[in-house]
Amino acid sequence: MIKLNANNIQTEPHLLKRTIATIIDYGIYFIFFNLYVKTFGELSDDGGYKVNGIASLPIFLIWFIYFPIVEGLFGKTLGHLAVGLKVIDRRGKNITMLQAFKRRFLDPIDLLFHGGIVAFFVVKYANKHQRVGDIVAKTLVVGNEKVFCLDCGEDLFLDPIDQQNGFFECPNCQTKNILWEKKMPN
């Protein structure tokens, strides 16, 4: 058995996939947002609709349920699911609710200011291709990442499920490589 660590996982930026996932996710959210405001809002002076006070609470609750809670429970949103991405922690394990909230709490910095250009450049050039929210939450977005067998040097691509299992068997030399060790309960 050969032991690897998180440094052996070379994450990819997945810029196109991440962009498509973001468009899908925020598209879903903005559809809800518009339907809610038109259904429960009041006509404003400029001909649009608005919600104020307690009536605006569901807009924030849906964001909170869809992004941090769904991501905390499943490691992915519908957008991530559609393009084959998953959010994991830096040890290859499922993220916690707190990590999901931290990474999504910084969406305005990553995605909304300047049309997502901050996220684009940070993901493209950061060491593990993390956006600001991922750096703060200590998470990675993965999907078919490149690893290598320490025994024979074979380059391989692992999907998020393989990474979460914590090991892979090299198809070239059949050596079992461990990405990280699962801690056994006491």
- The model's pTM is 0.76
Distances (CA, A) of 57 to 48, 49, 60, 146: 19, 16, 5, 43
Q: pLDDT digit of tens for each residue in the chain (186 aa)?
A: 344 444 555 678 889 999 999 999 999 999 999 999 999 999 988 888 999 999 999 999 999 999 999 999 999 999 999 998 999 888 777 899 999 999 999 998 888 777 888 999 999 998 889 999 999 999 989 886 677 787 888 877 776 666 666 777 888 888 887 775 544 344
Cβ of 95: how many Cβ atoms within 10 Å?
27
User: Which has the closest alpha carbon to 126: 19, 4, 16, 10?
Assistant: 10
Type of residue found at 95: I
What lies within 8 Å, CB to CB, of 52 at 6+ separation is 42
